[in-house]
Amino acid sequence: MAILELTAPAGVLLGLPQARTVRVSVVRSTATDRGDGSWSVTVHATEDQIPALRALGCTVRIIVDDATQLARWHVLDGQIERQPPVG
């Protein structure tokens, strides 16, 4: 699951949670008015969603790609596995 920054008109971004053509998790607290009629927002989505997001009218910037995010989760999982049992 990658971390992406999307930029688009507010109406496009507000429709993402209900969109049937894309699967994203929107981090609403990151929404920023760019002052030019568009907004940017951070989302969690797999990189294969990028073409569909672009088709909806979003400009997409990859902040953290799928492979890097997966590697981070593997490190965290290993750290959790090595913790002593809680008792």
- Sequence spans of domains, the chain: 2-81
Q: What is the pLDDT of residue 80?
A: 74
Q: What is the pLDDT of residue 71?
A: 80
For residue 20, what are its two tokens?
Answer: 């049937």
**CATH code, 2-81:** 3.30.70
The C-alpha angle 21, 39, 14, rounded to 5 degrees, equals: 40
Residue with the bigger pLDDT between 52 and 78: it is 52
This prediction's pTM: 0.79
Per-residue pLDDT tens for 20-30?
889 999 998 99
Per-residue pLDDT tens for 21-71?
899 999 989 999 999 999 999 999 999 999 999 999 999 999 988 888 788
Q: What is the pLDDT of residue 19?
A: 84
